[in-house]
Structure formats: C-alpha cells, structure tokens
Amino acid sequence: MAEAADIQGAPLAPARRRWLRRAVVLLAGTPVLAGLVYSHAPEAQAAETAAAAVDVQLDAMAPSAPVKGDTLTISGTVTNNGSEKITDAHVGLRVGPALGDRSSIGEAAERGAFRAGTDPAEVGAEFAVKIDSLPSKISQPFTLKVPVNKLDLDEDGVYQLGVSLSGETESRQYEQVLGIKRTFLPWQPEAAAKRSQLAYVWPLISTTHLTSETGSDELQTPVFLDDSLADELRPDGRLGQMVSLGKDLPITWVIDPDLLYTVDAMTKGYRVRTPDGRTVQGKNKAIAEQWLSSLETAVQGKKVVALPFADPDIASLAHRGKDVSGTLGQLRPATDKAKQAVETVLHVPASTDFSWPVDGAIDPSIVNVATSAGAHNVLTRSDSLQETGALGYTPSAARPIGAGTTAVVADADLSTAFQGDMLRAGNSTLAVQQFLAQTLALNLQETDSQRSFVVAPQRMPSTSQVQTMAAAIRGLQAGRWSQAADLETAAAATPDPRAATQVPGAGQYPEALSKQELPVSAFEKIRTTETTLDHFKVILTAPDRVEIPFGNTTNREMSASWRGRPAEAWDYRDQVQQYLIRLTEKVKIIPKSDATLSGHSATIPVTVQNSLVQDTHHLVLRVRSANPTRLMFGDSGESQQEVAVQGGHSQTVKFPANATASGPVEVTAQLFTTDGVPYGKARKFTVEATEVTPTVMLVIAGGVLLLVLAGIKMYASRKRVAARAAAEESTQQSDESPDTGPQSADPSGTGETVDR
C-alpha cells in the first residue's frame, strides 16, 4: 500500500507510515492469522474467556516517564486462576500506537481481556520472560527489561503498554494469550516548547477529635474523644506520611487550622475520654511535638492556604443551615481564627482567600455562602463546572463567575486518580502511569496559550493514597511537559474567554452528595447550644474560658468531616449540649426546706452555690410569695437582690419578710441575669406564717405581769420564813448548818426557725 501511494505521487505522512508499520507487525505477530480474521463469534468469546484465566499484576514500572537511552523495567506477578496447568508460557510486552486524546486513555484503561486484532503484537521474543509451567492457583513473579529504543516510540505522546502471558493448556494445546494488563507510557524525551502549569493541593485535614470539655486548671487541659489522632500523626501514619513526603514536593499546603489547634493542644498535655465516661491522661505528647515540628519545617517557603476553622461544610450550610438564625454568622469568625492559628502555630503566612466545597460541587447558593466570609476563590471541579462547547482542549483552571469571584476548576480526572484501594502495588502503579499520561495528553492538546491546571484530591487520603500521589508528583518533576505552580498562581492566571463560566443550577447538585449533608435539625441543635452559651457567659467574670472552647466546638459541629457519619455527628452535638448544661447547673439555688415564720417580721435566708472555678456576677436572686395577703416581702409580694459568688463558694442572701395572717405560703426563689432572663431552675419551699395580734399580745402581757407579782409574793413569804428560822436557831444556840441552798430560776432556751 505504501509503495502504491508513493507511485501515485501521494507519499504517506510519517505518522501514517508509522501506523501502517505497527499494523504490519501486529498482523505478523498474531498467531493463526486466518483463524483471527475469520473466527466465529463463539470462538472469539472462548478466547476472551481463556484470557481471563490468568491475572497479570504490574507492581512497578521504572522509569515511569523514560527518555532515550533508558531501559524500561516492569515487574509484577502472574497468577493462574484457571483449573488447568499452563505450559510453555512466557510474559511479553506489547506497545500500541500513540493514543489520540484524553478520552482514548480512559477507554483503554477500562478495557479488559485481550482483544485479537486490537491489541498489538509483542515487542520481541528476546525480551520475553519464559515460564515453563504455571500450575492452577499458583503465582509467579516476573521482571521485563526492554531498552526504550526497541519500543518504536516515534512521536511524543501517550502509548498504551500491554503486559501479557501467553501459553498452552491441556484443552488448548496451542499458544494463546491467557491474561493481559494494560498501562500507559508517557513519551516526551525532550522538554516541550510550551509546558503546562500544574498546582497540586496537598490537604492536611482530619476528623474532629476534641470535645468541648476542658479541665478546671489554669491551662484548661483539653479532653479528646479518643486517642486515634496519634495514630495518624506517627511517621508511618496518614498525616505523618503527608508531612514527610510533602516537604520535598512542589505542592500547595491546604490546611484545616483546627488540626493545628488540636495537635498543638496535645503538645501542652491533654486528657482522653474513656468508653465508661472517665478521662485519663493522654500519652502521645511527644508524637504531637515531633509532627508539628516536622510540619513547621516542611511549610517554610511554601504556599499555605488555610480553610475556615474546622473545615465547615459549605454545601450543608447553603442548603440546610442558612435559614437557621445565626448559622452563617459562624463563617467569618471561623475564617479569622484560621489565619491566626496557622501563623501562630507554624509561623508562616497563610491565605484565607479560598473556599472548598465538598468534592468541588457547586451551585449558586453554595457560591454565595462560600464567599460570604470574604473568600474570592471557590475551589470547584470540572465535573461540576462543565464545558458546554466543543473547545477541543481543556481550558485553564481560573474562571470568573461574577461578583469578583473566581471559580478555580480542578481537573476531575486528575483529582480522582488516586481514590480507591492503593494498598496493592498493582493499583498504585497503574494509577501513577495513568496520571502521568493524562498530564502529558493535556499539554499535547492543540492551543497556543500556556495553561494552568489544578489537582484537588480527596480531603483525607489514606496512607497508601498519599504515597501514590507523591510518586505521581515525583514523576512530573523532570518538567518535560509540565511545571509546578501554586494554587494562588493558578487562581490569578489569565482566564480563557471561551471557557465555561456558568454556575450549574441547584437541580444539578449531585444527589449522592445531597444525601450526605448535615440536616436542618443539626443546625437547630447548634443554635440551641449557642443560645445556652450566650445566657451562660453573661454571668461569668472570665467568659473566655467557656466562650473560646465552645465557639471552636460550634465550628466543629458544622465540619465537612461528619459526612457519611450521621450517628456520630448527632452524638457529638448532643454531648456538647449536655456538657454545657451541666456547667450552667453548677451555679444554682440550694434546695431549701420548709420554714416557720413566728412573729410579725423576720428574715428568710436563701443560699446560692457556685461550683465553677471562676467567679460569677450579673445575677439577681428574686423571691416571690404565692399569697402576698398572708406573707409579704417588703411592700409587695416579691423582692430581689444582686448576687456575686466566688468560684467554689456559696452565698446566703437574707430577705426581710412580713406576716399579715397565719397559714402556709409557697415561696419561689429564682435566679435571673441582670437583663431579666431566668437562669437555672426555680426553687420552691413553704413558709408557715404565724401572725400575732395586739389582743393576744395584751393577754400575754397580763399573764406575764401576774407571774411577776406571784413571784414577788413568794419571794417575800420565803424571806419571812427564813427570818423566823434564823431567830429560832439563834435562841437554841445550835451549831448545825442549813441543809438547802439557793436554786437557779433561769428559763430554758428556745430554738429559732428563721432569723429575727
């Protein structure tokens, strides 16, 4: 065909000649050519079934992006999943033609069994690894080594690689492909004249670990839900790996300041709540110190973006929380705390100009809420802000969406490249190669402008996912088709005027994400806690001791980290509210027993107890008589006095009372804040009022007078008797002494039931 074309004066283009040359190799290397061309459908199906008998895994590929003169080394394992032993087998490498675009890469990655006539022939028998026998259910490792100059890589591009095992079985005693695994080889041996800019988001985010509870000591020692954060911080843990690997990578650190705050709290000493409700001393202070020190070193000279404190769920706020009073007002303080936390703990400047909705999914309400705290950049994803026209290329990340807001559109394929199970070396290797292939394909798209792209991976990647991400970024560091940039640079890049800027409507928000949002009841619960806190802090002389920890807890209750964990989220909010109520109940009126008021007037004592460690003020104690016609306080049925009680003390307040009639009266004692809001529980007790009239007093006075007169008469009589006795004794001249002495006539004391 090539000769005919040349004879006709229309020589084939180089790319066309290379395609034909590869097709000839394919046909020449395909066994039983006539059978492949004319096989019936059942035979083709049987071939695919046989091909599935062997699982081929590619555990490592180096170099991931080779240059001229390199030797490509691929190692892995083959496993015979079939029931028959495989003989006379070998592992070979197949190199397909360059893939035309990004969609071709995706299609090739999803392709399964070997396809005769589609998959290319092996590179060369001399590079194959022979396996004489592979019994059923047995695995065997292999290592292929092929010089790159033997791969026939003519033009820059992404090439499909296939590693296959071919051999015979007892039922099919001829060579056939029994298993294949495909991957990609990015080929750009020389630096491109125009290279893309790539900004990689490196998220330092964890779940909520701190409770609202703190110790009564001066440092307010924090109490943790558990000690699981220490496992993440260890050198081999998820966050430990993110720091140790990230310090050498060209990435943008995107940090939840609550994580910094929490780890910093661990370094100062902390306690951990046990399943039975006790708290014990935390034991991983040194691990927290080491991690924080390593992070501080790693971020020096790097760009740091601080999310609002505790990473609030922007979409839940927009869809479920905005109509609950006070909810959106939490975003501004969360943003202010974010900048302060990063600069205080890490001693580096931080940008707070970015908002990151979950999975980058946006709609108009999400954008409005995301920017309400001052952020001008919304980190979204290309599967949310999709292109509507046929540009033929992927535009830059920055998109102006109105009102001074920029949508920074992360590439969806690149951002989701490392989700799933990366523990298996085979999965990790394939993910790295596909990521590199996609980035090269982006740069090879036909456009005259230099473009900038963003990768925003999952918020909390696992340890294996972190390691795979790091391997992929290292594969780009040669800079032959991309160059590293930071997130702020990507946001400030000149936008493509042809790129889509229309924010999708509310109806396009993914249903799966909507089902994970915090419910309205969550924000109502948070509002209840805030109201309780507002009433509580009014009476405190040091309100910061509760305002700061509970304010931070409010942010944590709105965190995006609760997605997919509704039961745990509800328990957390409930524990916060219950703990706050227990604190408020430490300032209370001591229950009082019933009292008796004897007489026209007396004082009734009421005691207020403060079991907090700090003093209270701005409290008013009010007592009220249920029957003012019988018992009065002052000139009315109620009275009040201001109360200030030292921490750990009680104070008794005395109220003057007047009885106007006898009988039981119910009295209510209630604390109020100085602005008239009831505080705590009211206490009720009964006062038995005994009113004494003037007539009764006159009768009592008369009786007392008669008793006095009788006493005088008795005294005089005794005196006369004593005188006569003395005279007789004198006459008889007796020496005997008297046999009786004077007796005490003091009355017995009486007890008082109320103060007089």
Would you give the distance in Å from CA 709 to the centre of its chain? Answer: 90
d(CA 251, CA 469): 11
Structure tokens at 320: 């479920």
d(CA 683, CA 680): 9
Neighbours of 131 (CB within 10 A): 19
Q: Is 568 helix (H, G, I), strand (E, B) or coil?
A: helix
Q: Name residues whose C-beta falls within 8 Å of residue 687's C-beta, 6 or more positions apart in sequence.
A: 594, 595, 596, 597, 604, 631, 657, 664, 665, 667
φ/ψ bin of 733: left (φ > 0), alpha (ψ from -120 to 50), beta (otherwise): left
The answer to whether the CB of 298 falls within 8 A of the CB of 540 is no
Query: What own/partner pairs with CB < 8 Å and gap ≥ 24 does 488-491 have?
Result: 488/252, 488/303, 488/305, 488/351, 488/353, 489/197, 489/199, 489/452, 490/197, 490/199, 490/396, 490/397, 490/398, 490/408, 490/452, 490/453, 490/454, 491/353, 491/354, 491/377, 491/397, 491/398, 491/406, 491/408
d(CA 404, CA 375): 10
Q: Is 283 helix (H, G, I), strand (E, B) or coil?
A: coil
The answer to whether the CB of 329 falls within 8 A of the CB of 558 is no
Phi, psi of 596 (to 5 degrees): -120, 130
d(CA 417, CA 97): 23
Q: What is the pLDDT of residue 753?
A: 36
The answer to whether the CB of 440 falls within 8 A of the CB of 397 is no
d(CA 304, CA 348): 8
SS3 letters for 21-34?
HHHHHHHHHCCCHH
Q: What share of the chain is helix, strand, coil (3-state, %, to 5)?
A: 35, 30, 35
Neighbours of 337 (CB within 10 A): 22
Nearest partner of 469 among 250, 147, 733, judged by Cα:
250
Residue 636 DSSP class:
B
Gyration radius (Cα) of the chain, Å? 43
* Per-residue pLDDT tens digits for 469-480: 999 999 999 999
Low-confidence ranges of the chain (pLDDT < 50): 1-51, 693-701, 704, 727, 729-756
Nearest partner of 431 among 393, 394, 397, 458, judged by Cα:
458
Nearest partner of 87 among 175, 179, 180, judged by Cα:
175
The answer to whether the CB of 194 falls within 8 A of the CB of 156 is no
Structure tokens at 737: 């002494």
pTM assigned to the model? 0.83
SS3 letters for 297-342?
HHCCCCCEEECCCCCECHHHHHHHHCCCCCCHHHHHHHHHHHHHHH
Neighbours of 85 (CB within 10 A): 16
Q: Which amino acid is at 575?
A: Q
- The residue with tokens 């006709």 is 8
Nearest partner of 611 among 651, 574, 653, judged by Cα:
651
Residue 691 DSSP class:
P
The answer to whether the CB of 61 falls within 8 A of the CB of 433 is yes
d(CA 333, CA 551): 9
Burial of 570 by CB count in 10 Å (0-12 exposed, 13-18 middle, 19+ buried)?
Answer: middle
Cα dihedral sign, 383-385-388-389: negative
Task: Report the greatest alpha carbon distance in the chain.
Answer: 183
φ/ψ bin of 9: left (φ > 0), alpha (ψ from -120 to 50), beta (otherwise): left
Nearest partner of 640 among 656, 663, 664, 661, judged by Cα:
656
